[in-house]
A and B are shown apart, each in its own frame.
Chain A
Amino acid sequence: MASTATRPDRTTATQEFLHNLRLLPRTLKDAWFRIGHTPESEREVSQATFHNLFLHIHSVRVHVRTLAPAFTLGLGLISAASFVVLCITGVLLMVYYKPSTTLAYDSIKDLHYVVFTGRFMRNIHRWSAHVMVVAVFLHMARVFYTGSYKKPREFNWLVGLALLVLTLALSFTGYLLPYDQLAYWATTIGANIANSPRELTDAIGISTWFDPGGFQKRLLLGANFVGEDSLIRFYVLHVFVLPVLLIMLLGVHFWRIRKDGGLARPEEPMGGPAEWGGSMKRVFEPLATKTYGLMALVKGRRPTVNRGPENTVMSWPHLFWAELAVFMLTVAICLILSFYSDAPLKELANPAVPENPAKAPWYFLGLQELVSYSAFMGGLLIPLIAWVGLALIPFLDRRPGGEGVWFGTPGERRVAWQSLLFGLLTSVGMLAFTVNFGWLRNWFPRIHQLWIIAINPGSILVLLYAGWSLLVLKRKDSVRLAAVALFTCFLIGFTVLTYFATIHRGPNWQFYWWPSQWPVH
């Protein structure tokens, strides 16, 4: 028998079988883990990253600046981590949630009161959604202020903007699902914002033939009012379509980080020690006894000779510890918030009893304030201008330099402070003016609506910000500084308007100093 020759000390197949059975744990481990022990050599450490399906989107080595918390503040990771938390808690909630107008509310009540950890999971879902929206805005600000949108990262900036819209859409579609008073009326507001082109088409009298506003609203709601059709439509968007799109774009976003050469960083000084502890050895130590004929083409600004990728560390384990830490921190913060604060749930949605004030979700409240002045301007034109403006930034500011560092261009910090002040004063001033004196229709009751569409607090603010930015452009002779001015104004304006509409707008959208002063109804 030929097989006897291949079995060293074994004589029977049975013994071979038993031998293999005994060795099962080890052979299983060897099959699964190619290295089988904590990676030791640099080669093994590289393979830990390179050969892993989930990890190999990371580069094998990362620059030390990537790991500096003060640089990125981990905001991108926080956004991604909160998205992961949302997916997990979302799937758990999907087990019990029922997307029907007659069943939705009761299913949320059951989740809260009966389902094991239901209350906690729902709270986590709600809080991590808030965290995600805040984080993506702050992440965008970080990328802007560190100039990390510059060549070759322009496309990633655009992908990020698309992700921003998807995040807001996910949050908005999820808002309707509990189908309580809050959900119903916030969605009504949102749908009517989608209907805002009507203000313009009504004012010029063409609505009967051309009604994009009505079309958008019906497309969104699946009917002329929020109801059964809207709920199922929002549900499908929220649990499938939008998450799939987001994950795809997120993949592109991460891939582009790789292809664009990692996170943006400033010019490497020639020579000089690594930033983290002078005792780190050089990555590439050319030996005197060897000649090196290897040449590599890398993306960079100048040729380097006799140097390896300095100031980099292995991704395994440093980058992954960092990522895990940020993930866990995000999870911990979401849990703490969820433990102490319940997600709100008001009475069952009742089309006959409107909420007063009916408010959109908080990240749309700034928009709602603008819509209260002019639906078309605030609901369509200003957001469009803002979004297109943001998208154009990397294509208008193409001068290299200053990326990878906060306020890298000289004079940037100062311009940012000045713009903050300017944006604050103008937005607060505009709001104070309208609260005290009203606007055009208070003084001229019969003027045409087109005047109000053109001249309203929102459009005035846009013009003021644009004017300020052009002033900076001229006086500081720098596109980047003009961009900083405009972006800062936009950020502060958005924040002020959102705060104002959240706290100081009460029933009938009247001004109140505090919610405790709202008349009880």
Chain B
Amino acid sequence: MNDPSTRFRWVLLLASLVTIGYLVAAALRENFLAEWYTLQKEYRQLLQSKASDDQGRALARDFRIELKQVSVPQLKAVDRCVSCHNGIDDPRMTGVRQPHAVHPGDILKNHPADRYGCTICHQGQGVATSFRDAKGDDVSWDYPLLTRELTQSSCLACHDVERLPRQQVALVLEGKKLFDEKSCASCHKLGGRGGTLGLALDNEGAKTRHQLIMVNLKPPYTTWRWHQAHFRDPGGVVAGSQMKNPTVTEHEALALTAFMLSLRQRDVPESYLAPDKIEQKARALHPQPLSGERLYRNYCFACHGDGTYGRWDTTFRRFIPAVRGPSLLATADPAYLEAQIALGRPGTQMPAWDARAGGLQPDEVKALVAYLGKSGGILSGKTGIFDRFAQNDNAPVLARGDANRGAALFIQNCAGCHGVAGHGGVAPELANPTFQQAASDAFIVTTIRNGRRGTAMPSFQPRVPGARSLSDAEIADLLAFIRALGPAARKPQTALVPNDLVKSGGSR
């Protein structure tokens, strides 16, 4: 008889066999064919071969093949690295291949694995039980395993790196030094102090690869490879970047990367912090003011260079003035310079540096200005350069000028560099509110008359017979026009007291 259910019975049999087969295969794959299983069997053989006394033999005998982990709840870590790295604390395991080898150095003496785990220093996916997943650089894991040289960037989580043995954190220290030398804080805030052209770097080490532009990199897409490439070629990694190429070698780029990775606000419980870290945190509450020279190097050097010459910047598409040029310093008074530094030049790449913006304290701004005043430049050996102004018997006659006549003169003589409406470009921006507020009439007139030695600003009253020269009346007209470019309210012609300006915090 034609049994209608024959074909179903065959399908049932087949499907059941397939099911059982795959269940068995899955069980095998998970337990006996797993990476860690094979490795632990190898390790047991190693233990047996290296056993030379009773203790060694007992260790080999009692070694169980099972998943192992170190659980550190205070660090929110469950690290299963020890399922494959069984020999990290066995001093006999030298000269054996990884992952059986003992942990290098004597780090584990002060950082025993059962109290610290592994991922607090090495990162990586601690919960994983296969090497590919643990490395985490091509799976979905935020913090992949750090390379050997970069592991030291984790030390900052609990330590003050300045107090650690130098050779253990050499790369991070070098990176920190380079950060100051290359004047990175001119554009990037760190610790609340710095410029605004770039991103703040306080938590740079916590960034994941999804927060960085990886388009121009090749895999593996890790944050440190990004940093290394970015330091070597900012514009090539981030299209349209305004960052100047810091011109570093591969090694220096690595050092800076280590420093970047160390900038990470970690939530480490207090019991894990080293005493030197706690002291560092206490010191940070009352920071020592830096010297003027250090300030200049950290916050001004990147754009202004050594400050003795003005230049046209192709990335900014703007003129960067010579702030340590003696010609400027001969005519500017300290109040003017402090105002320029404290308030910046809004609308240009020069940021404000006062306590609320760039993070410099008032006495630091003063120290910076004093440093500027001390600079030699072309005319070296000059001291008390600011006194010059007070005794300047070339004090101009500030008669009232006609702004309309001044407009014509401005177009003819000034607009070529300073722009038609004084918005700068090749030369400084005269319409800038900070300039208008802080510069005195005398400063402007003296500059027009005498020019700026060492820059492209000529003297318009040169004492050379036969040369073109503007009369005092014409200069007064120009002054009136220049003042008309700025905000209507103009301060009276006394030198502005610096504290006033800093306290008012940039009224624009």
A→B interface (CB under 8 Å): 64, 67, 106, 109-110, 113-114, 116-117, 119-120, 180-181, 276-277, 279-280, 313, 317-318, 321-322, 324-325, 328-329, 331-332, 335-336, 338-339, 344-348, 353, 519-521
Kindly supply a per-residue 1/0 record for chain B positions 140-153, scoring 1 wherever the CB is within 8 Å of any chain A CB and 0 otherwise: 11100000000000
Chain A residues within 8 Å of B210, by CB: 347, 353, 521
B1-59 contacts to A, CB under 8 A, are 1-5, 8-9, 11-12, 15-16, 18-19, 22-23, 25-27, 30
Q: List 20 A-B contacts (CB under 8 A).
A: A109-B128, A110-B127, A113-B133, A114-B129, A117-B26, A120-B26, A276-B2, A277-B1, A279-B2, A313-B4, A317-B5, A325-B8, A325-B15, A328-B15, A328-B16, A328-B19, A332-B15, A336-B22, A347-B142, A353-B210
Q: Give the residue of B12, B30, B141 whose beta carbon is less than 8 angstroms from that of A117.
A: B30
Q: Give the residue of B12, B19, B22, B67 whose beta carbon is less than 8 angstroms from that of A321.
A: B12
Minimum CB–CB distance from B444 to chain A (whole Å) comes to: 46
Q: For residue B25, which residue of chain A has the nearest CB?
A: A339
Q: For residue A119, which residue of chain B has the nearest CB?
A: B30
Contact B27 A117 (CB under 8 A): yes
Q: From B1, B4, B215, name the one whose CB has the most chain A CB atoms within 10 angstroms.
A: B4
Q: For residue A106, which residue of chain B has the nearest CB?
A: B127
Chain B residues within 8 Å of A110, by CB: 78, 127
Given A277-B2, A519-B215, A520-B221, check contact A324 B208 (CB 8 Å): no
Contact B11 A328 (CB under 8 A): yes
Taken together as a complex, chains A and B put the C-alpha atoms of A317 and B8 apart, in Å, by: 11
Taken together as a complex, chains A and B put the C-alpha atoms of A113 and B208 apart, in Å, by: 23
Taken together as a complex, chains A and B put the C-alpha atoms of A279 and B2 apart, in Å, by: 8
Minimum CB–CB distance from B85 to chain A (whole Å) comes to: 16
Taken together as a complex, chains A and B put the C-alpha atoms of A109 and B508 apart, in Å, by: 54
B483 at the interface (CB under 8 A from A): no
Contact B1 A332 (CB under 8 A): no
Q: For residue B3, which residue of chain A has the nearest CB?
A: A318
Chain A residues within 8 Å of B215, by CB: 519-521
Contact B213 A521 (CB under 8 A): yes
Taken together as a complex, chains A and B put the C-alpha atoms of A180 and B210 apart, in Å, by: 14
Minimum CB–CB distance from A188 to chain B (whole Å) comes to: 16
Contact A347 B208 (CB under 8 A): yes
Q: For residue A337, which residue of chain B has the nearest CB?
A: B22
Taken together as a complex, chains A and B put the C-alpha atoms of A331 and B19 apart, in Å, by: 7
Given A276-B4, A324-B8, A346-B140, check contact A113 B19 (CB 8 Å): no
Contact A329 B2 (CB under 8 A): no
Chain A residues within 8 Å of B366, by CB: none
B122 at the interface (CB under 8 A from A): no
* A-B contacts besides A120-B30, A339-B22, 20 pairs, CB < 8 Å: A64-B4, A67-B5, A109-B127, A110-B127, A114-B67, A276-B4, A318-B8, A325-B9, A325-B15, A328-B11, A328-B19, A332-B16, A335-B26, A339-B25, A347-B208, A348-B142, A353-B210, A520-B221, A521-B210, A521-B213
Contact-size category for B: 35 or more
Q: From A346, A347, A353, name the one whose CB has the most chain B CB atoms within 10 angstroms.
A: A347
Chain A residues within 8 Å of B1, by CB: 277, 279-280
Chain B residues within 8 Å of A318, by CB: 3-5, 8
Minimum CB–CB distance from A498 to chain B (whole Å) comes to: 24
Taken together as a complex, chains A and B put the C-alpha atoms of A521 and B2 apart, in Å, by: 63
Chain A residues within 8 Å of B78, by CB: 106, 110
Kindly supply a per-residue 1/0 record for chain B positions 61-90, scoring 1 wherever the CB is within 8 Å of any chain A CB and 0 otherwise: 000000101000000001010000000000
Contact A329 B127 (CB under 8 A): no
Chain A residues within 8 Å of B18, by CB: 332, 335-336
Query: What 10 A-B pairs have minimum CB-CB distances, sorted nearest first?
Result: A277-B2, A328-B15, A321-B5, A346-B140, A325-B8, A325-B11, A321-B8, A332-B15, A318-B5, A325-B12
Contact A353 B22 (CB under 8 A): no
Minimum CB–CB distance from B208 to chain A (whole Å) comes to: 7
Chain A residues within 8 Å of B217, by CB: 520
B214 at the interface (CB under 8 A from A): yes
Chain A residues within 8 Å of B19, by CB: 328, 331-332, 335
Chain B residues within 8 Å of A116, by CB: 30
Q: For residue B134, which residue of chain A has the nearest CB?
A: A113
Chain B residues within 8 Å of A344, by CB: 140
Q: For residue A124, which residue of chain B has the nearest CB?
A: B26
Chain B residues within 8 Å of A335, by CB: 18-19, 22-23, 26
Minimum CB–CB distance from B350 to chain A (whole Å) comes to: 31
Q: For residue B128, which residue of chain A has the nearest CB?
A: A113
Contact B208 A328 (CB under 8 A): no
Minimum CB–CB distance from A97 to chain B (whole Å) comes to: 15
Chain A residues within 8 Å of B3, by CB: 318
Chain B residues within 8 Å of A345, by CB: 140
Minimum CB–CB distance from A455 to chain B (whole Å) comes to: 36
Q: For residue A331, which residue of chain B has the nearest CB?
A: B19
Minimum CB–CB distance from B10 to chain A (whole Å) comes to: 8
Taken together as a complex, chains A and B put the C-alpha atoms of A276 and B5 apart, in Å, by: 11
Chain B residues within 8 Å of A113, by CB: 80, 127-129, 133
Q: Give the residue of A114, A280, A322, A328 whose beta carbon is less than 8 angstroms from that of B5.
A: A322
Chain B residues within 8 Å of A353, by CB: 208, 210-211
Contact B5 A339 (CB under 8 A): no
Taken together as a complex, chains A and B put the C-alpha atoms of A404 and B51 apart, in Å, by: 77
Q: For residue A355, which residue of chain B has the nearest CB?
A: B210
Minimum CB–CB distance from B404 to chain A (whole Å) comes to: 42
Contact B214 A520 (CB under 8 A): yes
Minimum CB–CB distance from A121 to chain B (whole Å) comes to: 10
Q: For residue B133, which residue of chain A has the nearest CB?
A: A113
Kindly supply a per-residue 1/0 record for chain B positions 177-211, scoring 1 wherever the CB is within 8 Å of any chain A CB and 0 otherwise: 00000000000000000000000000000001011
Taken together as a complex, chains A and B put the C-alpha atoms of A495 and B20 apart, in Å, by: 34
Contact A347 B11 (CB under 8 A): no
Taken together as a complex, chains A and B put the C-alpha atoms of A332 and B30 apart, in Å, by: 19
Chain A residues within 8 Å of B12, by CB: 321, 324-325, 328
Q: For residue A519, which residue of chain B has the nearest CB?
A: B215
Taken together as a complex, chains A and B put the C-alpha atoms of A110 and B23 apart, in Å, by: 20
Taken together as a complex, chains A and B put the C-alpha atoms of A336 and B21 apart, in Å, by: 10
Taken together as a complex, chains A and B put the C-alpha atoms of A317 and B6 apart, in Å, by: 10
Taken together as a complex, chains A and B put the C-alpha atoms of A339 and B142 apart, in Å, by: 26
Q: For residue A318, which residue of chain B has the nearest CB?
A: B5
Chain B residues within 8 Å of A322, by CB: 5, 8
Minimum CB–CB distance from A428 to chain B (whole Å) comes to: 30
Chain A residues within 8 Å of B25, by CB: 339
Q: For residue A116, which residue of chain B has the nearest CB?
A: B30
Chain A residues within 8 Å of B211, by CB: 353
Minimum CB–CB distance from A296 to chain B (whole Å) comes to: 25
Taken together as a complex, chains A and B put the C-alpha atoms of A497 and B71 apart, in Å, by: 47
Taken together as a complex, chains A and B put the C-alpha atoms of A322 and B12 apart, in Å, by: 8
Chain B residues within 8 Å of A106, by CB: 78, 127
Chain B residues within 8 Å of A64, by CB: 4
Q: From B78, B127, B129, name the one whose CB has the most chain A CB atoms within 10 angstroms.
A: B127
